Structures are given as C-alpha cells and as structure tokens.
Amino acid sequence: MILLSIIAHLLAVASPGPDTFIVMRQTLASGFKAGLSSAIGIGLGILIHCSLALYGLSALILSEPIGSYIPYIGSIYLIFLGVQSVASRNISLEDNKNTLDRRSLLIGFFTNILNLKAFIFFVSLFSALTLRYTTYEISWLIIYFSLATTAWFIFLAYFLSIPSIKKIYTDKVSLINKILGIILITMGLLVLINIL
C-alpha cells in the first residue's frame, strides 16, 4: 500500500498542473533561483497538505463553510497569476534577486496550498493509509512526499535553465509568457466552472 502511494504521488507530481506551470513561468521569466524558490514553496505546501491530512485536519478544513471558499480562492489566484503572465514584460534578471526569490517561494507555496486537488489527493491517500498503518509508521511519508515534490520541481527548473532551452525562451519570451498565462487562466476558469 505504501509503495502504491509513492507511485501515485510520483505520477501526480509529474503530470502537468498549476505547480508545473508556475515553476516554468518563474524559471523562464526570472532564472533558476526563482524556479528553485518556487519548487521549495511547492514542497512546503505539500508538507502542510500531508501534515493536515495525516492528523485529520484536512477534513475539517474541507468541511463547510471554510472548504467551500478554497476552490474559489485557488481559481482566482491562478487567474490572477495568468493575467500577470499575459500582461508581463520581460523581467530583468538583475532586479532585486532576494525579493524575487522570496516572491517566487510564496507564489509556489500559495499555488500549491490553494490547490483543491492536492487537498483531496492527500486526504484520500492518508485516509487509506491510516486504516492499515499507525500514524507513527507513515509519518515519514510527510517528509518523503515534500522532498520528492521539491526535487522534481528543482529538476524541472534546472532543465529549463539549460542555456539552449533558455535561448528558445529568450527568443520567444512574449509568446511563451502569454501561453503560460493562458494555461493558468484556463486552469483557474475550469476550476470555477466545476464548482459553479
């Protein structure tokens, strides 16, 4: 059961979703450090999702009335980031990097923590696991899922920072920003449509 959970998590992380597009957006627009910061933010979000799910707090958060607001907040946040990306001009890599990295970390964190699918995925996963194992036996999965997620997105940021890949982006910066923005807006709108 634990092995199946690990495989399910890896498939979920590797499949394109808001986290993937945020890491792409931050890395391509602002460099590897911004992508790295986003990856760490996403990993922190996973750490919180897992902790809440393992100790039964996710079910409380997903209950009425709090749970009904999360999809709205998450979808509006994705639409906001998408609009920013569509409207953005090329960001100078020489801008204040500390501010940029901190901002990228927060963007990664909030993109993940407001993702209703992540809430549901980890609630389902840990609900099944706690039927067969003690909390102590599966508590190490919290750290594993967080580190594995962070590692995957660091790899993605590194890949997008390879000079030949970066050159493709540099040549088409405006078009790629618009495409990533449209994808984020579409994801946000799809969430809204599903909950209305």
| Sign of the alpha-carbon dihedral angle for 19, 25, 27, 30 | negative
Half-sphere exposure of 35 (CA within 13 A, CB side): 24
DSSP annotation of 10? H
User: What is the reported pLDDT for 22?
Assistant: 92
User: What is the reported pLDDT for 89?
Assistant: 62
Q: For residue 163, give Cα distances in angstroms to 102, 152, 153, 160, 170.
A: 24, 20, 18, 8, 10
Answer whether 45's CB lies under 8 Å from 138's CB: no
User: What is the reported pLDDT for 94?
Assistant: 45
Q: Where are the domains of the chain?
A: 2-6+32-195
**Letter string b/e over residues 154-183, b meaning 16 or more CB atoms within 10 A of that residue's CB:** bebbeebbeeeeeeebeeebeebbbbbbeb
Structure tokens that stand for 162 in this block: 């390879």
Q: Whole-prediction pTM value?
A: 0.78
User: What is the reported pLDDT for 130?
Assistant: 80
Per-residue pLDDT of the chain (196 residues; tens, 9 = 90+): 788 888 888 888 888 888 998 999 899 888 899 999 999 999 999 999 888 888 776 556 656 666 667 677 778 888 888 888 888 765 544 445 556 678 999 999 999 988 877 877 887 888 778 888 888 888 888 899 999 999 999 999 999 999 888 888 777 777 877 888 898 898 888 878 877 6
Nearest CA-CA partner of 122 in 52, 186, 179, 63: 52
User: What is the reported pLDDT for 93?
Assistant: 46
Answer whether 24's CB lies under 8 Å from 181's CB: no
**Calpha distance 149→61 (Å, rounded):** 23
